[in-house]
Chain A
Amino acid sequence: MFQVEQLSYTYPNGNEQTLKDVNFHVNKGEIFGLLGPSGVGKSTTQKVLTKLIQNYKGAVLYKGKDLTQYGKDYFEDIGVGFEMPVHFSKLTAEENISFFKKLYKNPADTDALLKRVGLYDDRKKKVSEFSKGMKVRLNFVRAMINQPTMLFLDEPTNGLDPVNSRIIKNMMKEYRNQGGTILLTTHLMNDVDELCDRVAFMANGTIAEIDSPKNLKQKGSARTVIVEYMSGNKQKTDVFNLDTIGTDDAFLSIIQQHKLLTMHSQETTLEDIFIQMTGVKIDD
């Protein structure tokens, strides 16, 4: 879908390059996560791909054609969900959606979308009366308004309660399963783990690592198992090598003769990988 080669960009009046020779590709029909702490260039990368930034160096190909060769029809093909609300606050949700919908050749059934995200009954309300979560859901409807084949989503579940977050994530999965492609930017590692087929970690304007969440976790994992068990009246903990555990007499003895409390393989989390790759904690 996208091929990004040697992408570099420096903001006007900026002293340093924000993007430094960024290379990656996004396959059709996948959810591709772009992760990293604030200021490493992931939003800038997304802005290049959505043509909000144009005077970059390097090449960006969309469906095999240079992005600079696309005119306004490019926006018929993509949907963009911004992190911040992007609605006319003095207009109702319906008026906002109606205005943007009319700009597209192939509009979606927006009533169905509003119903799905639970905003249909509130469609006559002014957006200024909406809660943060309602605005986030309306952002998602705005992104899907033209039945895009490529979707850019920036923190699409940020500020949503678990029920609405689940609805949006299910819609993203359905979209992917129907052949749609998503470039997802988020800080929520659980979302990344659940949704993304591949993820790219960005650090200092470059891509530090790209792989599937599963492979990344396996790469970063210690091949050990920690076993907690009762030995008499005392609680004990032992660590065993995962590769030899089936023939490890000590381990076999423990599971046969003692009461086990817990047993965990030391699979790393995406959050640990995030910190390792970027050197920054999620909260930062």
Chain B
Amino acid sequence: MTNFLRLTVGEIQRMNKYQILPSSLFVILFWIGFLYFVDDTFINQMFAILVFVDASIMSIIFVGATMFFEKQEGTFRSLMVSPIRKSDYILSKGVSIVVSNLLTVVLLFAFVYWVKGANINLIGFIAGVSLIGFFHAILGFWMSFYAKDFTSLIMRSSLYMIVFVVPVILVELQVIQTEWFAYVLYIIPTQASMNVLNAAAGIPLETWEIWVSASYLLAVTIGIFFITLKKFDVFAQKEGGQ
């Protein structure tokens, strides 16, 4: 087993011990309750929206929580004097959050499939959520660089939600129906995320839209990973060296 896998397994175990995974399960139960009351006609769309929220905003908050536990308990320092690559450390954070996201997808899928009889492309969702969850986990990791404490991260996450997540949902629910606004949203990665999930949910989209969205999401994920990797030394020095 490589150190990347050891870090990932350790991260998932700690997410359980620190009540992050149980919190995630509690949120899933809440969403299952919500989906129970959704009309079958809209179940695919609502499923995609809930998965979108989980893979975006919840990923940022969960990775932030793990970072702040590590900073608070000094374990970040201990990890920084261990024989691990910084890329392995960052990747392990992203992958363990994706595991949590996939747990949400599988449990919600099981509910809508067996209880609501929905026809959803599970493989498509797994692929989409892996990309969206990973992107947002790395974004959350990067945001925690600049957050003084967990409250500060929550404030930043809320701002991100208002600016990047809520408008996408409002357009999705047709609360905002202005056509130009929908196109403006194409410049933000959350709209690309929604498009990818909509495609998996069987909501009609142009083929080019799906490919452009997936490619865009992949590009920004690679971009933010390398930016985070580059900034990591400054962060590690700030947290471990000062």
**Residues on A close to B: CB < 8 A?**
11-12, 44, 47, 50-55, 72-76, 78, 80, 82, 84-91, 95, 99-100, 102-105, 142
Interface of chain A, main secondary structure: loop
Q: Tell me, in angstroms, the Cα distance from A199 to B163 when the chains sit together.
A: 57
Question: Contact: B85 with A52, CB < 8 Å?
Answer: no
A52-B236, A53-B241, A102-B6 known; A82+B77 contact, CB < 8 A: yes
CB-CB under 8 A from A87, the residues of chain B are: 73-75, 78
Question: Contact: B236 with A86, CB < 8 Å?
Answer: no
CB distance from A46 to the nearest CB of B (A): 10
CB-CB under 8 A from B18, the residues of chain A are: 90
Q: Tell me, in angstroms, the Cα distance from A89 to B7 when the chains sit together.
A: 17
CB distance from B86 to the nearest CB of A (A): 9
Question: Contact: B77 with A86, CB < 8 Å?
Answer: yes
A91-B17, A103-B3 known; A54+B10 contact, CB < 8 A: no
CB-CB under 8 A from B74, the residues of chain A are: 82, 84-87
A47-B241, A53-B237, A103-B6 known; A88+B75 contact, CB < 8 A: yes
Question: Contact: B82 with A75, CB < 8 Å?
Answer: yes
Q: Tell me, in angstroms, the Cα distance from A75 to B141 when the chains sit together.
A: 24
CB-CB under 8 A from A78, the residues of chain B are: 81
Q: Tell me, in angstroms, the Cα distance from A201 to B221 when the chains sit together.
A: 49
CB distance from A129 to the nearest CB of B (A): 14
CB-CB under 8 A from A54, the residues of chain B are: 233, 237
Is B240 in the interface zone, CB < 8 Å from A?
Answer: yes
Question: Contact: A52 with B80, CB < 8 Å?
Answer: yes
Q: Closest A-chain residue to B17, C-beta based?
A: A90
CB distance from A66 to the nearest CB of B (A): 17
Question: Contact: A73 with B83, CB < 8 Å?
Answer: yes
CB-CB under 8 A from A12, the residues of chain B are: 234, 237-238
Is B38 in the interface zone, CB < 8 Å from A?
Answer: no
CB-CB under 8 A from A75, the residues of chain B are: 81-84
CB-CB under 8 A from A103, the residues of chain B are: 3, 6-7, 82-84
Q: Closest B-chain residue to A79, C-beta based?
A: B81
Question: Contact: B237 with A52, CB < 8 Å?
Answer: yes
CB-CB under 8 A from B69, the residues of chain A are: 88
Is B14 in the interface zone, CB < 8 Å from A?
Answer: yes
Q: Tell me, in angstroms, the Cα distance from A44 to B10 when the chains sit together.
A: 30
Is B242 in the interface zone, CB < 8 Å from A?
Answer: yes
Question: Contact: B82 with A86, CB < 8 Å?
Answer: no
CB-CB under 8 A from B3, the residues of chain A are: 103
**Contact indicator per residue, chain B 1-27, by CB within 8 Å of chain A (1) or not (0):** 101001100100110011000000000
CB-CB under 8 A from A99, the residues of chain B are: 6, 10, 13
CB-CB under 8 A from B6, the residues of chain A are: 99, 102-103
CB-CB under 8 A from A50, the residues of chain B are: 81
Q: Tell me, in angstroms, the Cα distance from A144 to B234 when the chains sit together.
A: 28
Q: Tell me, in angstroms, the Cα distance from A191 to B31 when the chains sit together.
A: 59
CB distance from B67 to the nearest CB of A (A): 13
Q: Tell me, in angstroms, the Cα distance from A87 to B80 when the chains sit together.
A: 13
CB-CB under 8 A from B75, the residues of chain A are: 86-88
Cross-interface CB contact of A88 among B1, B14, B77, B234, cutoff 8 Å: B14
CB-CB under 8 A from A91, the residues of chain B are: 13-14, 17
Question: Contact: B73 with A104, CB < 8 Å?
Answer: no
A51-B81, A52-B77, A142-B78 known; 16 new pairs, CB 8 Å cut-off, are A11-B242, A47-B241, A52-B80, A54-B233, A72-B85, A75-B82, A75-B84, A82-B74, A82-B77, A84-B74, A85-B73, A88-B73, A91-B13, A99-B10, A102-B6, A104-B83
Question: Contact: A100 with B81, CB < 8 Å?
Answer: no
Question: Contact: B81 with A88, CB < 8 Å?
Answer: no
Q: Tell me, in angstroms, the Cα distance from A55 to B69 when the chains sit together.
A: 27
Question: Contact: B14 with A52, CB < 8 Å?
Answer: no
Q: Closest B-chain residue to A44, C-beta based?
A: B241
**Contact indicator per residue, chain B 217-242, by CB within 8 Å of chain A (1) or not (0):** 00000000000000001101110111
Q: Tell me, in angstroms, the Cα distance from A51 to B236 when the chains sit together.
A: 10
For A76, A82, A86, the residue with the greatest tally of chain B CB atoms inside 10 Å of its CB is: A86
A54-B237, A90-B17, A90-B18 known; A76+B83 contact, CB < 8 A: yes
CB distance from A146 to the nearest CB of B (A): 8
CB-CB under 8 A from A80, the residues of chain B are: 78, 81
CB distance from B218 to the nearest CB of A (A): 28
CB distance from B146 to the nearest CB of A (A): 14
For the complex of A and B, list the 8 residue pairs with the smallest distance between their C-beta atoms, beginning with the closest.
A86-B74, A52-B241, A86-B78, A75-B83, A53-B241, A80-B81, A52-B240, A72-B83
